[in-house]
């Protein structure tokens, strides 16, 4: 018997000293490697859709909810607090007096709270990564161009949110890494005009090859034109009414009419070729406005985002449903772009 044991032990020891290092090649179960992502069309799409999820929508600006996410295990009360925008504009007020938004409601905007700030170069980087790396990605050419165009659209959308707030910002269109020279890592701010022109040129370019209709929730030709139209309208207004300061970091020194014309042309294309129209289903204007946000994919909606985990009408998940990306076409300037989250929620809760 001793012999058997000796042999067993020797075998075990040998096995132990030889075979165990394979264990060290374990990989994390929740991380997909770079190579795997770029060699799989579905994962490339997942990457692109992730950027839509992070794109600057009204959802980003509604402010914080005191209890975080809407889905919980049922212990906490559902979060039904309105965000900052709605409280600034006096459309809503918080139900709890310790929620920050009540103070916004009472005292107005406090600049030091940075509630209106937006500085999402992370997403710009993600777009730049996709635009660069997709060239070696495993996709057919048509899809590759389309995905690239969508990433360029999202990037332009981010720059639009930035330029609205800060005027000229550094325009970064390549993927930087830690070894990038310092003068590129720390670029000068571009002029406000350069940023607007970039947005307009980009939209103009991608509108040339994006499909007429994309899946609901993704950008297409008319989405790009809608952004172009809005950006050009802003740029024209700045050129017309603003003053150039700080060597062009703020203000646009150009003929405003050129911008207005671009805006008008783009909007006309949307209406005449895109099949989009103002939503005029109800005579009652209030009801019509309400239904605009509830009537899925109506003719006025150019781009919308949904997260339909549950059917409408379940109170606790309404927040997730209300991620409508407010790029509502047509009356982009004359409609208040700030809308009431609370109003929407109450409507959904009672109406559907």
149/305 with CB nearer other proteins? 305
Stretch that binds other proteins, among 16-24, 137-145, 199-207, 247-255 (CB under 8 A): 16-24
Q: Report the C-alpha gap between 26 and 220 in whole angstroms.
A: 42
* Chain residues 215-244 in contact with other proteins, contact rule CB under 8 A: 215-218
For residue 55, give both structure tokens. 């794109």
DSSP 75: S
As measured in angstroms, the least distance from the Cβ of 286 to other proteins is: 26
Distance CA 265, CA 287 (A): 31
CB 298 within 8 A of CB 350: no
Of 176 and 237, nearer to other proteins (C-beta) is 176
- Least Cα distance to 96 among 62, 60, 64, 61 occurs for 64
Q: In this structure, what are the phi and psi dihedrals at residue 146, rounded to the nearest 5 degrees?
A: -65, -45
Query: Does residue 44 contact residue 148 with C-beta atoms inside 8 Å?
Result: no
Q: What does the alpha-carbon distance between residue 194 and residue 253 come to, in Å, rounded to a whole number?
A: 11
In the chain, the largest separation of any two C-alpha atoms, in whole Å, equals: 99
Output 215 or 350, the one with its CB closest to other proteins: 215
Out of 75, 114, 272, 350, the only residue in the binding site for other proteins (CB under 8 A) is: 75
- Smallest separation (angstroms) from other proteins to the CB of 69: 10
- CB-based contact 58:47 (threshold 8 Å): no
Which span (36-44, 194-202, 249-257, 273-281) binds other proteins, by CB under 8 A?
36-44
Q: Indicate the residue among 4 and 286 with the shorter CB distance to other proteins.
A: 4
Q: Please tell me whether residue 188 binds other proteins under the rule CB under 8 A.
A: no
Between 79 and 98, how does the x/- string for binding to other proteins read (CB under 8 A)? -----------------xxx
Q: In this chain, which stretch among 29-37, 146-154, 221-229, 325-333 interacts with other proteins, using CB under 8 A?
A: 29-37
Residue linked to tokens 């997909």: 32
Q: Which is nearer to other proteins, 188 or 253 (CB)?
A: 188
Residues 237 and 177: beta-carbon distance below 8 Å = no
47 binds other proteins (CB under 8 A): yes
Cα-based distances in Å from 228 to 110, 189, 289 = 32, 22, 24
The nearer residue to other proteins, 76 or 246, going by C-beta atoms, is 76
| Interface with other proteins in residues 279-318 (CB under 8 A) | 305-311, 314-316
Q: What is the dihedral of CA 206, 208, 211, 217, to 10 degrees?
A: 30
Q: How far is the CB of 277 from other proteins (least distance, A)?
A: 21
Indicate which single residue of 76, 246, 277, 333 sits in contact with other proteins (rule: CB under 8 A). Answer: 76
Within positions 97 to 126, which residues make up the interface with other proteins, using CB under 8 A?
Answer: 97-98, 119, 121-126
Is 176 one of the binding residues for other proteins (CB under 8 A)?
A: yes
What's the token pair of residue 33? 């490697």
């Amino acid at each position: 018997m001793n012999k058997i044991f000796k042999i067993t032990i020797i075998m075990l020891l040998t096995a132990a000293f030889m075979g165990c290092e394979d264990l060290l090649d374990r990989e994390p179960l929740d991380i997909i490697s770079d190579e795997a992502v770029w060699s799989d069309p579905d994962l490339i799409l997942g990457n692109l859709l992730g950027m839509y999820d992070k794109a600057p929508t009204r959802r980003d600006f509604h402010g914080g909810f005191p209890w975080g996410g809407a889905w919980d295990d049922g212990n906490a009360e559902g979060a039904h607090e309105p965000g900052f925008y709605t409280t600034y504009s006096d459309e809503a007020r918080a139900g709890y007096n310790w929620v920050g938004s009540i103070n916004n409601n009472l005292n107005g905007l406090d600049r030091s709270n940075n509630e209106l700030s937006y500085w999402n170069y992370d997403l710009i980087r993600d777009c730049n990564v996709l635009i660069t790396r997709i060239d070696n990605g495993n996709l057919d050419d048509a899809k590759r161009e389309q995905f690239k165009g969508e990433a360029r659209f999202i990037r332009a959308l981010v720059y639009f949110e930035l330029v609205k707030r800060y005027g000229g910002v550094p325009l970064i269109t390549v993927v930087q890494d830690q070894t990038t020279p310092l003068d590129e890592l720390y670029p000068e701010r571009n002029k406000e005009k350069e940023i607007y022109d970039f947005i307009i040129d980009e939209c103009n370019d991608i509108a040339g090859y994006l499909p007429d209709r994309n899946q609901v929730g993704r950008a297409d030709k008319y989405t790009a034109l809608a952004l172009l139209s809005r950006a050009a309208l802003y740029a024209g207004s700045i050129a017309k009414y603003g003053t150039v300061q700080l060597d062009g970091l703020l203000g646009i020194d150009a003929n405003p009419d050129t911008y207005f014309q671009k805006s008008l042309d783009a909007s006309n294309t949307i209406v005449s070729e895109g099949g989009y129209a103002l939503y005029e289903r109800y005579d009652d204007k209030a009801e019509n406005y309400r239904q605009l946000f509830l009537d899925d994919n109506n003719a006025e909606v150019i781009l919308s985002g949904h997260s339909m985990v549950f059917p409408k009408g379940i109170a606790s998940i309404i927040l997730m449903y209300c991620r409508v990306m407010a790029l509502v076409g047509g009356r982009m300037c004359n409609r208040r772009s700030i809308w009431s989250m609370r109003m929407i929620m109450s409507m959904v809760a009672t109406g559907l």
